[in-house]
Chain A
Amino acid sequence: MSVLLESSSTSAAMRRNFWAGVWRVMKRKPSRMVGVVLMAGFVFMGAFGPMFYPDPLPRDPNLITRPPSWQHWLGTDDQGRDVIALVVTGSRYVLLAALVTAVITVVVGAGIGLFAGFKRGRWDSVLMRLTDMKLTIPGLPLLLVLSTVWKFGSAVQMGLVLGLLSWGGVARAVRSQTLSLRERGFIEAARGLGLSTTHIVGKELLPSMAPYIAMNMLIAITGGVYAQVGLFFLGVLPYESNNWGQMLNTAVFRSGALTVPSALGYLLGPLLAILLLTLAIVLVVDAMDEIFNPRLREE
């Protein structure tokens, strides 16, 4: 009983220390706080944003492709809809697809990386040959070619395809981490004790790699956003629903945002959203880097 109490109190203390460390890292650079706030804002926007607007958005034939004004901060689109409203309602598709992409990228990538790195031998070489092949085939051109067969109907489908095409980098990185970790003392001790492979991988390897995997997941989210927005921007996918890539495409190739300055707001809306999301993720990853790599703190 006393042993139990002791261990739970030390883990509570560790947790407290951890959050104190997080707070210290955050305080040292206010920019990181900005990143966290921005990220929370994007999550809120994707989850609840569309509820604040009527569906479909009101069209106004008197307000077609207007420059920014007090009523419409970023102007209106070619159907007289408010650009900010479009960015907010379009965020759900983009963020949901990116989340699915990131989850699949990380689960498949980390799974393959852990398995290959831990098993070594024949499985390792087969899986890594496969990964190399995956990494060599250029992702965007392959997506473009695939778009002639698949329609990427919903956000989840889009995320699924993107995720299945982007696990390569994570698999390589996790494998090399696993290779170095498995030679460390605590893993060797666990193996010496005859613990099962699932226990060693799940309870010993995975926790020490979790921060690293979490950072990869954040980076995979930006990758997912870029890829799908880019695909819609290029105009190879059919018009499914309102999203940032679709907005960019209409702004540039239909409303002539690059030749008519009054349509610039229409272009800037999605661009700003992408830039802010990138900024948020870069800042949060920077903070996580310092939280989980204490060596960086001493600099």
Chain B
Amino acid sequence: MTIIARRLAGHLARGIVMILVVATITFFIVRSIPGDPVAANVQKLIEQGMAPEAAEQATRVLYGFQPKGSLWEQYTDYMTGLLTFDLGQSVTHAGAPVTDVLAEAAKWTVLPVLAGTLLSFLVGIILGVYAAIKRSGKLGDALAISGSLLHGVPQYVLGLLLSAVFATLIPILPADGPVDILYEPGFNAGYIASLFDHAVLPVATYALAAYGGWILAMKSSVVTVLGDDFILAAELRGMKRSIIFRYIARNAILPLFTILALSLGLLLGGAVFIERIFNYPGLGLLLIESITMRDYALMGGAFLLITVAIIVANILADLFYSVIDPRVRSGEEVSA
């Protein structure tokens, strides 16, 4: 247990350093943007007919700060704000705290990403085992090729194709927004059915985009296990094929769990395309909107949150792996 605790401490320290680095990057990017956003806003309000003092006051309320003091002071202000989860206020969302805006958007990203990834994981590993066992046959070959192709095609191509086919050519699924506006939000059948309907295409895109990776990873993992001595021994002892199959699957799947945790984190970053295509109000769309609207506090916050998700996924992947695979643990003990 102490080894796992020590690993966790090391990961946490590294994760915190990473978060500080990313926060610093966003801070300096926002500061180096040509045309000070605050000054630009004051200018805009004056042009709209506001008195200069009033415009400055309104801007101060809007941004929650007026850049003053040295760069270093601004930087320490920003960093102390981070410690208390204060990421500033969003300009486009009527001055709401960035943390609230992010929390609202996160649920629209996390659930579809989770559903799509788990779906593709299940289908991918089952077909991956098949592709590995029948790898010299026609069907196995076809599965592997389909995996390489889908793995190679970018998410937005899949999303656009799905949308073109199932929302435009054969309009059977909605492709715009997370829900129909005519339903009352809440726990009623119409609203939930509409949520579900609107989630089908985004979830299918996540699933299709990830499926290729799973089938390839599972195939190569199974091929490695097939050559292991214990499989040969089981075969020689005349064990039933179904039992051998279970041995193979169980051993081959271990390394994939690590990738599963990692990919969940990475997908949050990739959600940008799918959310833009299907107009799904998650973190990715929020990031795009904050960039086009030049809402810098929100932009920095969304970028930071996506990075934190990846760091957390990395830590979980490593810990999870050392918990489920005793070989990793014992190896550590010997070296420690």
Q: Does B179 contact A (CB under 8 A)?
A: no
Report Cα–Cα, A286/B149, bound state, in Å. 11
B225 at the interface (CB under 8 A from A): no
Nearest-neighbour CB distance to chain A for B95, whole angstroms, equals 21
For A137, list chain B residues within 8 Å (CB).
Answer: 18, 21-22, 25, 307
B306 A147 Cβ-Cβ under 8 A = no
Residues of A within 8 A of B164 (CB): 257-258, 264, 267-268
* Contact among B152, B161, B276, B288 with A222 in the assembled complex (CB-CB below 8 Å): B152
* Interface-lining segment among A107-115, A119-127, A270-278: A270-278
User: Of B169, B175, B294, B307, which one neighbours A138 at CB under 8 angstroms?
Assistant: B307
Residue in B153, B269, B287 whose beta carbon sits within 8 Å of that of A278 in the complex: B153
Q: For window 153-187 of chain B, which residues contact chain A by CB distance below 8 Å?
A: 153-154, 156-157, 160-161, 163-164, 167-169, 175
- Whether A286 lies near B148 (C-beta < 8 A) is yes
**Is B217's CB within 8 Å of the partner chain A?**
no
B26 is an interface residue with CB less than 8 A from chain A: yes
- One of B29-37, B55-63, B96-104, B122-130 contacting the partner: B29-37
Task: Give the Cβ gap from A18 to chain B, nearest Cβ, in Å.
Answer: 25
State whether A236 touches B22 (Cβ < 8 A). no
CB pair B272–A141 under 8 Å, yes or no, is yes
Please indicate the chain B residues that have their CB under 8 angstroms from the CB of A275 in the complex: 153, 157
Max chain A Cβ within 10 angstroms of own Cβ: one of B25, B164, B277: B164
State which of A139, A230, A257 has its C-beta within 8 Å of the C-beta of B154.
A230
| Interface members, chain B 284-315 (any A CB < 8 Å) | 287-288, 291-292, 294, 299-300, 302-303, 306-307, 310-311, 314
User: A233 with B149: in contact, given A136-B314, A141-B287, A144-B291 (CB under 8 Å)?
Assistant: no
Contacts of B157 in A (CB 8 A): 271, 274-275
Please give me the residue from chain A that is nearest to B135 by CB atom. Answer: A299
**From residue A265, how far is it (CB to closest CB) to chain B in Å?**
11
Measured in the bound complex, the distance between the Cα atoms of B171 and A259 in whole Å is 10
Decide if A226 is an interface residue (CB 8 Å cutoff).
Answer: yes
**Chain A residues, CB < 8 A from B294:** 148
**Residue A252 CB within 8 A of the other chain:** yes
Inter-chain contacts of B273 with A (CB < 8 A):
230, 233-234
Closest to A142 in B: B303
Q: Is A173 an interface residue (CB 8 A)?
A: no
In whole angstroms, how far apart are the Cα atoms of A136 and B135 in the complex? 34
Assess whether B266 is interfacial by the CB under 8 Å rule.
yes
**B169 proximity list for chain A (CB < 8 A):** 261, 264
Q: How many residues of chain B are within 8 Å of chain A by beta carbon?
A: 48
Q: Mark A210-235, 1 if CB is under 8 A from B, else 0.
A: 00000000000010001001100111
Q: How large is the interface on A (under 10, 10 to 19, 20 to 34, 35 or more residues)?
A: 35 or more
Least Cβ distance of A102 to chain B in Å? 15
Q: Does A206 contact B (CB under 8 A)?
A: no
A236 in contact with B299 (CB, 8 Å): no
Q: Is the CB of A234 within 8 A of B276?
A: yes
| Residues of chain B contacted by A233 (CB below 8 angstroms) | 156, 273, 276
Interface string of B236-272 (1 = CB under 8 A from A): 0000000000000000000000000000001011101
Q: Is B154 touching A234 in the complex (CB atoms < 8 A)? A: no
| Cα distance A233–B275 in the bound complex, in angstroms | 13
B48 contacts the other chain (CB 8 A): no
Contact of B292 among A136, A142, A145, A235 (CB under 8 A): A235
B84 within 8 A of A: no
> Would you call B136 an interface residue if the criterion is a C-beta within 8 Å of the partner chain's C-beta atoms?
yes
Give min CB distance, B295 to chain A, whole Å.
Answer: 11
Smallest distance from the beta carbon of A106 to chain B beta carbons, Å?
18
In contact, B311 and A234 (Cβ under 8 angstroms) = no
**Quick check: is A160 within 8 A (CB to CB) of the other chain?**
no
Task: Please give the distance in Å from B270's CB to the nearest CB on chain A.
Answer: 7
- A-to-B contact residues, CB < 8 Å: 133, 136-142, 144-149, 222, 226, 229-230, 233-236, 248, 252, 257-259, 261, 264, 267-268, 271, 274-275, 278-279, 281-282, 286, 299
Ranked 8 nearest A-B pairs via Cβ:
A138-B269, A226-B154, A278-B152, A282-B148, A282-B152, A141-B306, A141-B269, A141-B303
Cross-chain pairs A/B with CB under 8 angstroms, 24 sampled: A136-B18, A136-B310, A137-B21, A138-B310, A140-B269, A140-B270, A144-B272, A145-B26, A148-B291, A149-B33, A230-B156, A233-B156, A235-B288, A236-B288, A248-B160, A252-B277, A258-B164, A261-B169, A264-B169, A268-B164, A274-B157, A275-B153, A279-B149, A281-B152
Q: Which residues of B contact A (CB under 8 A)?
A: 18, 21-22, 25-26, 29, 32-34, 135-136, 148-149, 152-154, 156-157, 160-161, 163-164, 167-169, 175, 266, 268-270, 272-273, 276-277, 287-288, 291-292, 294, 299-300, 302-303, 306-307, 310-311, 314
- Known pairs A145-B299, A235-B292, A286-B148; list 14 more (Cβ under 8 Å): A133-B18, A136-B18, A137-B18, A137-B307, A140-B272, A142-B25, A148-B29, A230-B154, A230-B156, A230-B273, A252-B277, A257-B168, A271-B160, A275-B157
